[in-house]
Structure 1
Amino acid sequence: MYAEKKPDKIDPNEVRLSKWLNCALSNEPLREPCVIDKLGNIFNKEALVHALLSKSLPNGFGYIRGLKDLVNVKLSKIPGEEDCGNVRFQCPITGHEFNGKYKFFALRTCGHVLSAKALKEVKSSSCLVCHEEFSELDRIVINGSEEEVAVLRERLEGEKAKVKDKKAKRVKNGEVVGIGKEEGLDSEKVSGTKRGVVETNGVEKKVLGKVEGNGKVEMVKGVSANGAVKRFKAGDMAPPNANKSVYASIFTSSRKSDFKETYSCRSLPLGRN
């Protein structure tokens, strides 16, 4: 009897290197341009864009809806490595290799990737490479632990909730509907254009105008106080030195009685053609 062959053990170092040196989607070696999502996964941008266009993105990355959910990152290559066809990256400040042995952060504001040691030893609120300002919320840990990913996921859900709240306050085509009392609107300030709703004696009345934060309604040009729209004639818009009747004849608002049939031209009134 032959002894059963034991399954090959997976080298944890190879798993770690694969996670840090390969695209999280295609598993191909990282090559610029690269992007990360808001949970710290790093991708080749070309592979991810192709998956988005073909709608073949795995369910595990379903929170990525477009390029707005990604951050373009700038990786610093190790000099001499690219000549051997084996491109690797490092921290531009400390020189720590981008291989999973050290913690790295990506800055959302500028995209530079720096080691945690560099950000810890050099206390600064600006990028150590390009000096662009960033906050603590702009730091995204790359390939973080389960606890770190949970924090990023919670932050992502909070950002989505804020976006939904903003969309809920907006009305299509820039119209804002504000509801208030006869004395003025409530404590919430509402500003917008075109349309407002004012409550008068328990009856809602639509008013065409601009609703300001102080509760006043500024009427739009061309709209009367009772909500009727004033109709302008072409002659009213004539230039200062132009004859109004001649100017109005260019448009359909000119008098129809001027059009008469003749022997050489059988013109019809505008209402019949």
Structure 2
Amino acid sequence: MYAEKKPDKIDLHEQRLSKWLNCSLSNEPLKPPCVIDRLGNMFNKETLVEALIGKKLPKEFGYIKGLKDMINIQLEVVPSEGLGNARFQCPVSGLEFNGKYKFFSLKNCGHVLSAKALKEVKSSACLVCYKEFEECDKIVINGDEEEVVVLRERMEEDRLKVKDKKRKVKHGIVDVKGGDKVAGKIKGNGKVENVKGVSNGGSKRFKAGDMVPANATKDVYASLFTSSQKNKFKETYSCRSLPLGRN
């Protein structure tokens, strides 16, 4: 009786390296220009673009609709490596890009940095190009299940905001200070005509008599300001009267 051949064991180290060093679509080694999607998957840009044009993108990447759904990333090649089958590292901490450490891509500039570098050098600007970024601009690369869920929720929120913005432009809805919304026709120069929902009432004019200090008579306090009453004095042949409130 023959012994059954046991299936080859999966090399977890090689599997991890493949996820971090290869294109998520073709499984070919990452080679600049590279991109990342909103969920933290990396691709060779040319491969992804060709799949989009040929409509051959797998269902698992169906949320990628076009160039707007991919972000160009800047990978730092390890100095001793060439571009072919290259390995990458954090340009600040020097940690190798191999799955052992957490890395983020900054959406605004595309630089890929280790979580350690971002934690140790706390800054609101990229540590490489100094471009400002916010917490929501950080995309974790090859994140765990919970991290991907957060990224997916953020992606859906961003898409809803874009749709809402397009709807407002289409219907001429403009947000004004204070949270109110007004509707009107938007001209080519950016001005809004026939605006509804905004009151153009003038501001209330201040009167000195409206702000009388304690233990003061309204008329006496108001008389300190020449704007509070009309000048009741008239010029005579022999003298000129001075209005109250002026020396």
- Provide the TM-score with structure 2 as the length reference: 0.73
What's the CA shift for 1:45? 0.1
Higher relative contact order (CA 8 A, sep 6+): 2
Aligned match of 1:55: 55
Aligned match of 2:186: 193
Structure 1 unpaired stretches of 5+: 179-186, 195-208, 217-273
Aligned match of 1:210: 193
Amino acid in the other structure paired with 2:36: I
Aligned match of 1:106: 105
CA distance in 1, matches of 2:17, 2:186: 56
Please give the secondary structure, in 1, of the residue aligned with 2:113.
strand
What's the CA shift for 1:170? 2.8
Q: 2:173 touches 2:181 (CA, 8 Å); kept in 1?
A: no
Kindly report which structure 2 residues correspond to 1:88-99, keeping only aligned pairs within 5 A, or say none: 88-99=87-98
Amino acid in the other structure paired with 2:45: K
Amino acid in the other structure paired with 1:176: G
CA distance in 2, matches of 1:159, 1:95: 33
Cα displacement string for residues 92-150 of structure 1 (whole angstroms, at most 9, x for unaligned residues): 00110111000000001111000000000001000000000000000000000000000
CA distance in 2, matches of 1:138, 1:167: 22
CA distance in 2, matches of 1:87, 1:105: 19
Judged with a 3 Å threshold, the aligned counterparts in structure 2 of structure 1 residues 4 and 125 are, in CA distance, closer, same or farther, namely same
Please give the secondary structure, in 2, of the residue aligned with 1:82.
coil
Aligned match of 1:134: 133
What's the CA shift for 1:189? 1.6
CA distance in 2, matches of 1:33, 1:105: 17
Aligned match of 2:207: none
What's the CA shift for 1:215? 4.9
What's the CA shift for 1:193? 3.3
Structure 2 unpaired stretches of 5+: 175-179, 200-247
Tell whether 2:12 aligns with 1:12.
Answer: yes
Amino acid in the other structure paired with 2:108: T
Please give the secondary structure, in 1, of the residue aligned with 2:17.
helix
CA distance in 1, matches of 2:4, 2:98: 36
- What percentage of aligned pairs have identical amino acids? 64
Q: 2:20 touches 2:98 (CA, 8 Å); kept in 1?
A: yes
Amino acid in the other structure paired with 2:41: N
Amino acid in the other structure paired with 1:156: M
Q: 2:77 touches 2:88 (CA, 8 Å); kept in 1?
A: yes
CA distance in 2, matches of 1:22, 1:101: 16
Tell whether 2:180 aligns with 1:167.
Answer: no
Amino acid in the other structure paired with 1:79: P
Aligned match of 1:36: 36
CA distance in 2, matches of 1:211, 1:100: 58
Aligned match of 2:122: 123
Kindly report which structure 2 residues correspond to 1:63-82, keeping only aligned pairs within 5 A, or say none: 63-82=63-82
Judged with a 3 Å threshold, the aligned counterparts in structure 2 of structure 1 residues 47 and 177 are, in CA distance, closer, same or farther, namely closer
Aligned match of 2:22: 22
Judged with a 3 Å threshold, the aligned counterparts in structure 2 of structure 1 residues 189 and 80 are, in CA distance, closer, same or farther, namely same
CA distance in 1, matches of 2:36, 2:52: 14
Tell whether 2:159 aligns with 1:176.
Answer: no
Cα displacement string for residues 61-114 of structure 1 (whole angstroms, at most 9, x for unaligned residues): 01100011111000000011118x431100000110111000000001111000
What's the CA shift for 1:164? 1.9
CA distance in 1, matches of 2:135, 2:172: 35
What's the CA shift for 1:59? 0.6
What is the aligned length?
191
- Provide the TM-score with structure 1 as the length reference: 0.66
CA distance in 1, matches of 2:34, 2:93: 21
Aligned match of 1:248: none
